[in-house]
Each structure stands twice: as structure tokens, then as C-alpha cells.
């Protein structure tokens, strides 16, 4: 389709060319039209080149921007992938530590349970042995007391004085109802066991006494009984010492295992916390990786689409350039052929249309009408070829003006010139309006594309901020839940510790009160016995033994009370220390819960605000896109395809060739007519 500028130039040539006004020269007109068409094609090529350069620059700028975004996205993806790998390794290490600590704690708990069971069995065995030895000591003491008492009575226990052995003495005491047969049997068995042990120790010695042979006087029997008493008391003291050592060893082992279990539980909590925190961080990183990967894929897809569109446009530009070059080559060939065949002095054009040969003023009325009709027909054909209703109307008005001018005798070309000038003015206005419209479209496109890019960047920024805030909020909520569980476990553990401490304190108060009461009784007994036996020498042997035994009891009571007090103080100190540590831990965790709760509440509020902002920006983006579509529909003309341009050019070339043939035939006719007129006028003088 011819541009308004080309039509304006054509109309101006028609209105001002002396060929059309003074001497109609179709050959010159055709050459002029060919030159005009060439100029038009060259102008179109320059405009297409300018547009393509701008488009290529736009492609390059967008490609650079997308390349930078892709590079940035790839860096973020690599960083997040490395972070995920590191967190995965941390999770595996912490999980392995959890398994190891769980196994160690299980072993320590099993060892503690086994040690406790052994300690219970040892305690039960000690209680039984202590009870038996205490009964033996009591029995021996009563036997000695009875013997001493009966010996003081004189002849009433003559048989006892004459007893040759302890067994006989015990039998006499049983017969006299001074001693029970069960106690006598027990002492006899104890005596026999002692004699057997002594015999085994002194086996092979010539000085060893005969078995069951004792002196028959009372002093020997009592000494024997006192020897048994000393041995029983020594066994009881050894038994108690062994029990104290076993208890001490158990307490040390228990404390060691308990400490290991407590430390193991602390490490286990830390390892589990490490697993939870690492898993939360990994989930956050995976979420960010998913978003970043999606954005990267979109950028890569957009870059690929941009590259495809730009390459398509470049191919189309190259093809259009090639087509224009071929068209210019064809036009140049046609123009050269016309100039070569009709140009030059005395050529066909000069012969047919030269003013020196034939004057238009001397042509007949029919020839003038033919030229006028030819001009009208030329405009009408051009209008039909280019499908321009304006030129068709112009041709119609030109024909009317020529007919009316011929009828009244006026100059028809003046009227035609006025019509052409009027059309030129209108076409110039249309061209100016189109230029203004193009400037408006360019301005709106530039501003709208900028708004679209700004809104897209703002949407991406808000989306990234929302995703980061959501991930951080989820992480904080998980940490708060973990802290609250740890606080609940800490409170339960503290409550259990307080309960155990209260039980230990109550047991200590009860046992220490009993020990103190027993100690006071023992001290009072010592005071009485010391005051009593200190008056005479006769009872100092038995009294000294009793006093010594009571002193041992006093020492045991004092030692036991001291150990109980030390254990109580140690337990109280450990409880207070652990309570203070738990309090510090509780306060720290509560502060963490407070601040983290405040933070994720603020993040949730920020997410809501950002989501509202995002919705507003998306609405603005939708409005911008909608307006952009309207601008495109209003400003972007649908392109003419290559086939359409080729068909139009072929039609124009065919029309020009046909006009050339008409002009050549008319030139022959005019030449023939001129020669005929010359022959009729005769030769010149």
C-alpha cells in the first residue's frame, strides 16, 4: 500500500510537472514514477533499518538484563544447594550422635539398675548377717552375765562350778532354767565352729589344746565365753565395715553413673535440638531453592523466547532487505531499459513528444481529450492498483472538471490543479496526524513498558520478601514449640527433683532423729556404767568389755550420723545448684520464647501487609497489562506479509510495463501523424 507521503509526492508531481501541464510526455512520467518508487523503497529501507536497529538494541538490553538475573539466580541456587548439603551432613552427624548417646545412656542406666540390684542383695545379706551376729552377741552377753551372777551365789550352783567344759556349763544352766535350750544349742554350735577353726589354724602344732577341753573352774568358762564374744563382736564390726565400704562404693558408682546419664541426657537434648534446627533450616533452604529455581527457570525460558523472537525478527529483516534489493534491481533494470530505448537527442521520446516536432497547441481537440483522459485514467488506475478510494474520488472529480472546463471553454488544468492541491493539503494533514499518533504511541509504549517492568520487579521483590518472612516465621514457630516443650520437661524434671529431695530430707530427718536419740541413750549408758564400774575393781573386767562395746556403738552412731549429715548436705547442695541452673535455663528459654514469639507475630503481621501490598501491585500490574493490550491494538498495525508485498510489487511492475507499451504505441501513432502532416504541408523552405 502506498504511503501518504508517496501519494503526496505523486500528486505534487502531477500538479506542478510541465510535462502534464504543457506537454504530456508518458515516457518522462514513467521514468519519474520509477524514480519515485525507487526513492520510496529506499526510504522504506532506511525506516526499516532504523526500526530494526532500535529493536536489536532492545533485544540486547533485555538479553543483558536477563543474563544478569540468570547469573544471580544460578549463584543463589548453588549457594542454597551447598547450604542444603551442609545441613544434611549436620543432620546426619547430629542423628548419629543421638543414636550413640542413646546407646550410652541405655548402657549406663542398665549398669545403674544392675548395681542397684546388687546393692539391694548386699544390703539384705548384711541385714541378715548383722541380725544374726547381734543375736549371737546378745546371747553370749546374757550367758556371761548369767555365769557371773550364778558364780557369785556360791554352793547353789555347785554343778556349774564343777563343769569341765562350756558345753557342760551351758547344760547345767539349761537344767537350772537359767538359760534357754535354743540359746545353749546356738552357743554350743558357735563354740564347736570356733574350736574347728582354731584346730585348722593350728593343725600340726604340738601345743594345740584338745578339742572341747576346758578348765573346770568358772574363770576359764567365762574367759572362753568372752573370747567368743570378742570374736562375734569383731565379726559384727567387720560385717558393718564391709557394708559401709560396699555402700560407699555403690554411692560413688551411682553418682558416677547418674552424672554420666545426666550429662548424656543434656548432650542428647542438644543433639536432638541440633537435628530439629538443622531440619528446619534445611526446609527453609529447600523452600527458597524451589522459589529461586522457579524464578531461574522462568528467566531462562523468557531469555530463550526473547532470543527466538529476536532471531525471527532478524531473519524477517534480512528477507525484507533482500526483497527490497531485488525490487530495486528490477526497477533499475526497467528504468535503464526505458532510458536506453527512448532517451537521447532525436530519440523516440523526442520524436514522439518533443516540442520542436509537435506542439500540443496544434493537436486537434480529440488529441487533447485523449491526453486529458489519459491523465484521468492514470490516476484512476493508480487508485485501483493501490486500493485508495481517495485517488478514485480525485480521478472522478478530475474527469468532471475536465468535461466542465471543455464545455465552458475554461482552463481544465487549473481546476485539476486546485483539486490536487486540496488533496495534498489533506494528505499532509493526515500525515501530520499519523506522525502525532505515532509519537503518542511511542511515548505510551515506552511509559507502559517501563511501568510493566517496574511492577514486575516490585512483585518479584514483594514475593521474595513474603517467602523469606514465611520461612523465618515457620522456623521461629518450630523453635518456640521446641522451647515450650523443653520448658515443660524442665518443669517436670524440677518437680520430680523437688519431690525426691523432699523424700530424702524427710528420711534424713527421721533417721537422724533416731540416730541422735540412740546416741544420747548410748552416751547416757556410758556415763552410768563408767560411774558404776569406776567404784570397784572386781567388776572392771566385764564392765570394761561392756563399756568398750558401747563405745564402739557410740563411735558407729557418730560416724553414721556424720555420714548421713554429709550426704544430706551434699544432696541439698547439689539440689540447690541444679535448681539454680534450671532456673537460669528456664528464664533464658522463657526469654527466647518471648522474643521469638514477638518476632514471628511481627513477621506474620508483615506477611499480611506485604500480601496486601502484593495484591494491590498485582491489580496495578493487571491494569497496566490491560492498557498495554489496548495500546497495542490501537497503535500496532498488522504487518503486510511477504506474499502480499510481492503480489503488490508484481502488480505495480505489470501495470508500469503495460503503461510503457501504451506510451510506445501512442508515440508511434503520434510520430506517424506528425509525418503525415508534414507531407501534407510539403517540404520546408
Q: Is the pLDDT of residue 406 over 80?
A: no
Name the residue with higher pLDDT: 515 or 33: 515
- The per-residue pLDDT of the chain, averaged, comes to 75
Q: Mean pLDDT across the stretch 524-546? A: 68
Per-range mean pLDDT, top range of 35-39, 535-539, 655-659: 35-39
The CA-atom distances, in angstroms, between 329 and each of 3, 169, 324, 337 are: 21, 158, 8, 12
Work out the number of other CB atoms within 10 angstroms of the CB of residue 361: 9
481 has pLDDT over 90: yes
Q: What is the pLDDT of residue 359?
A: 41
Q: Bigger pLDDT: 180 or 556?
A: 556
pTM: 0.38
For cell 521446641, the residue is 482
73-88: per-residue pLDDT in tens? 888 888 889 989 999 9
Q: Which of 3-7, 29-33, 237-241 has the highest mean pLDDT?
A: 237-241
Torsions phi, psi for 5 (to 5 deg)? -65, -45
Buried residues in 470-500 as b, exposed as e (16+ CB within 10 A): bbbbbbbbbbbebbeebbeebeeebeeeeee
Q: How far apart are CA 239 and CA 232, in angstroms?
A: 10
pLDDT at 365: 46
Q: What is the pLDDT of residues 325-382, one digit of tens each?
A: 887 787 777 767 666 655 544 455 555 545 444 444 444 444 445 445 566 666 667 6
| DSSP helix/strand/coil, 387 | coil
Q: Is residue 175 within 8 Å of residue 196, measured between CB atoms?
A: no
CB atoms within 10 A of CB 598: 11
Q: Any idea what DSSP says for residue 245? A: H
Q: How high is the pLDDT of residue 612? A: 92
pLDDT in tens, 580-599: 999 999 999 899 899 889 98
- Shortest CA distance to 187 belongs to which of 175, 170, 174, 210? 170
Chain length of the chain: 685
Rg from Cα positions in the chain: 65
Q: Is the pLDDT of residue 448 over 50?
A: yes
pLDDT at 362 (0 to 100): 41
* Model pLDDT, residue 210: 36
Helix H, strand E, coil C: the string for 141-167 is HHHHHHHHHHHHHCHHHHHHHCCCCHH
Contact 635, 444 (CB under 8 A): yes
Identify the architecture of domain 458-637 in CATH. Answer: Orthogonal Bundle (1.10)
For residue 442, the tally of other CB atoms under 10 A from its CB is: 11
Whole-number pLDDT of residue 30: 67
- Which ranges of 202-217 would DSSP assign to H, the alpha helix? none
pLDDT of residue 208: 37
Q: Judge contact between 145 and 118, C-beta under 8 A.
A: no
Residue whose C-alpha is closest to residue 194's, from 232, 165, 234? 232
Whether the per-residue pLDDT at 650 is higher than 90: the answer is: no
Cα–Cα distance, 570 to 583 (Å, whole number): 20
The candidate with the shortest Cα–Cα distance to 261, out of 77, 116, 149, is 116
- Lowest-pLDDT range, 112-121, 201-210, 465-474, 645-654? 201-210
Report residue 632's pLDDT band, with 50, 70 and 90 as the boundaries. confident
Q: What is the mean pLDDT of the segment spanning 274-288?
A: 89
Residue 41 has pLDDT above 70, yes or no: yes
Query: Cα 450 from chain centroid?
Result: 32
Q: What is the mean pLDDT of the segment spanning 626-636?
A: 83
Contacts of 681 (CB under 8 A, 6+ apart): none
CA 284 to each of CA 163, 219, 452, 605: distance values in angstroms, whole numbers, following the listed order: 99, 95, 30, 19
pLDDT at res. 217: 42
d(Cα 167, Cα 174) in Å, to the nearest integer? 11
Say whether pLDDT at 491 is over 70. Answer: yes
* Res 498 pLDDT > 90: yes
- Higher pLDDT among residues 438 and 5, named by residue: 438
Question: Percent of the chain, pLDDT > 70?
Answer: 63
Contact between 91 and 275 (Cβ < 8 Å): yes
What pLDDT band is residue 118 in, cutting at 50, 70 and 90?
very high
d(CA 313, CA 101): 68
Q: What is the pLDDT of residue 439?
A: 82
Q: pLDDT tier at 172 (50, 70, 90 boundaries)?
A: low
DSSP 322: H
Tell me which of 124 and 151 has the higher pLDDT.
Answer: 124
End-to-end CA distance of the chain: 55
User: Is 221:140 a contact under the CB 8 Å cutoff?
Assistant: no
What pLDDT does 408 receive?
57
pLDDT tens-place string over residues 423-447: 667 666 766 777 787 788 888 888 8
> HEC string of 661-677?
HHHHHHHHHHHHHHHHH
> What pLDDT sits at residue 7?
46
233: its cell numbers? 563382736
- Residue pair 342/348 in contact (Cβ under 8 Å)? The answer is yes
Mean pLDDT for 393-402 is 67
pLDDT tens digits for range 220-253? 667 777 877 888 888 889 988 998 898 989 988 8
> Which pLDDT band, with edges at 50, 70 and 90, does 189 fall under?
low
Helix, strand or coil for residue 338?
A: helix
What DSSP line would sit under 449-517, residue for residue?
HHHHHHHHHHHHHHHHHHHHHHHHHHHHHHHHHHHHHHHHHHHHHHHHHHHHHHHHHHHHHHHHHHHHH
Looking at 227-283, which runs of residues are DSSP E strands? none
Amino acid at each position: 500500500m502506498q504511503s501518504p507521503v508517496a501519494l503526496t509526492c505523486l500528486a505534487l508531481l502531477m500538479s506542478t510537472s510541465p510535462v502534464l501541464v504543457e506537454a504530456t510526455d508518458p515516457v518522462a512520467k514513467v521514468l519519474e514514477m520509477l524514480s519515485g518508487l525507487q526513492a520510496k523503497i529506499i526510504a522504506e529501507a532506511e525506516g526499516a533499518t532504523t526500526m530494526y536497529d532500535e529493536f536489536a538494541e532492545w533485544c540486547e538490553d533485555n538479553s543483558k538484563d536477563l543474563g544478569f538475573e540468570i547469573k544471580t539466580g544460578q549463584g543463589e541456587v548453588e549457594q542454597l544447594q551447598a547450604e542444603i548439603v551442609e545441613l544434611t551432613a549436620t543432620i546426619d552427624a547430629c542423628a548419629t550422635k543421638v543414636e550413640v548417646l542413646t546407646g550410652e545412656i541405655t548402657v549406663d542406666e542398665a549398669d545403674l539398675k544392675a548395681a542397684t540390684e546388687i546393692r539391694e542383695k548386699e544390703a539384705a545379706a548384711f541385714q541378715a548377717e548383722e541380725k544374726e551376729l547381734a543375736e549371737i552377741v546378745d546371747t553370749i552377753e546374757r550367758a556371761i552375765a548369767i555365769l557371773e551372777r550364778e558364780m557369785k551365789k556360791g554352793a547353789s550352783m555347785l554343778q556349774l562350778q564343777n563343769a569341765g567344759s562350756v558345753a557342760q556349763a551351758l547344760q547345767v544352766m539349761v537344767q537350772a532354767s537359767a538359760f534357754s535350750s535354743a540359746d545353749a544349742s546356738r552357743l554350743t554350735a558357735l563354740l564347736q565352729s570356733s574350736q574347728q577353726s582354731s584346730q585348722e589354724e593350728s593343725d600340726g602344732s604340738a601345743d594345740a589344746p584338745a578339742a572341747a577341753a576346758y578348765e573346770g573352774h568358772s574363770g576359764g568358762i567365762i574367759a572362753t565365753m568372752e573370747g567368743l564374744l570378742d570374736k562375734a563382736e569383731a565379726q559384727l564390726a567387720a560385717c558393718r565395715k564391709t557394708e559401709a565400704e560396699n555402700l560407699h562404693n555403690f554411692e560413688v558408682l551411682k553418682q558416677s553413673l547418674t552424672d554420666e546419664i545426666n550429662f548424656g541426657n543434656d548432650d542428647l537434648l542438644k543433639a536432638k535440638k541440633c537435628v530439629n534446627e538443622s531440619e528446619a533450616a534445611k526446609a527453609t533452604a529447600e523452600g527458597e531453592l524451589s522459589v529461586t529455581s522457579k524464578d531461574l527457570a522462568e528467566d531462562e525460558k523468557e531469555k530463550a523466547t526473547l532470543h527466538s523472537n529476536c532471531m525471527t525478527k532478524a531473519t524477517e529483516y534480512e528477507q525484507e532487505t533482500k526483497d527490497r534489493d531485488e525490487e530495486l534491481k528490477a526497477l533499475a533494470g526497467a528504468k535503464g531499459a526505458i532510458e536506453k530505448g527512448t532517451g537521447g537527442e532525436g530519440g523516440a521520446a523526442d520524436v514522439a513528444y518533443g516540442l520542436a516536432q509537435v506542439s500540443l497547441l496544434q493537436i486537434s481537440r480529440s488529441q487533447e481529450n485523449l491526453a486529458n483522459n489519459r491523465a484521468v485514467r492514470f490516476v484512476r488506475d493508480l487508485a485501483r492498483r493501490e486500493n485508495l478510494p481517495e485517488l478514485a474520488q480525485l480521478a472522478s472529480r478530475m474527469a468532471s472538471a475536465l468535461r466542465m472546463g471543455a464545455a465552458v471553454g475554461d482552463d481544465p488544468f487549473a481546476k485539476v490543479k486546485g483539486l490536487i492541491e486540496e488533496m495534498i493539503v489533506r494528505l499532509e494533514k493526515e500525515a501530520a496526524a499519523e506522525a502525532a499518533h505515532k509519537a503518542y504511541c511511542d511515548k505510551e509504549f515506552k511509559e507502559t513498558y517501563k511501568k510493566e517492568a517496574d511492577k514486575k520487579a516490585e512483585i518479584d521483590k514483594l514475593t521474595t520478601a513474603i517467602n523469606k518472612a514465611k520461612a523465618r516465621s515457620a522456623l521461629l514457630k518450630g523453635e518456640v514449640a521446641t522451647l515450650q516443650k523443653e520448658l515443660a520437661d524442665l518443669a517436670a524434671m524440677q518437680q520430680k527433683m523437688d519431690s525426691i529431695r523432699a523424700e530424702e530430707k524427710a528420711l534424713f530427718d527421721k533417721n537422724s532423729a533416731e540416730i541422735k536419740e540412740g546416741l544420747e541413750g548410748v552416751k547416757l549408758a556410758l556415763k552410768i556404767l563408767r560411774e558404776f564400774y569406776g567404784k570397784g575393781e572386781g567388776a572392771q573386767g566385764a564392765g570394761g568389755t561392756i563399756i568398750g562395746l558401747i563405745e564402739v556403738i557410740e563411735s558407729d552412731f557418730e560416724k553414721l550420723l556424720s555420714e548421713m549429715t554429709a550426704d544430706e548436705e551434699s544432696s541439698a547442695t547439689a539440689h540447690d545448684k541444679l535448681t539454680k541452673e534450671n532456673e537460669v535455663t528456664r528464664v533464658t528459654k522463657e526469654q527466647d520464647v518471648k522474643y521469638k514469639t514477638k518476632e514471628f507475630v511481627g513477621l506474620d503481621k508483615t506477611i499480611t501487609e506485604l500480601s496486601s501490598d502484593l495484591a494491590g501491585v498485582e491489580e496495578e500490574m493487571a491494569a497496566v497489562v490491560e492498557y498495554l493490550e489496548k495500546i497495542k491494538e490501537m497503535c500496532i498495525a498488522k504487518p503486510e506479509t511477504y506474499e502480499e508485498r510481492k503480489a503488490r510489487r508484481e502488480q505495480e511492475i505489470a501495470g508500469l510495463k503495460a503503461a510503457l507499451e501504451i506510451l510506445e504505441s501512442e508515440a508511434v501513432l503520434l510520430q506517424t501523424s506528425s509525418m503525415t502532416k508534414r507531407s501534407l504541408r510539403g517540404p520546408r523552405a
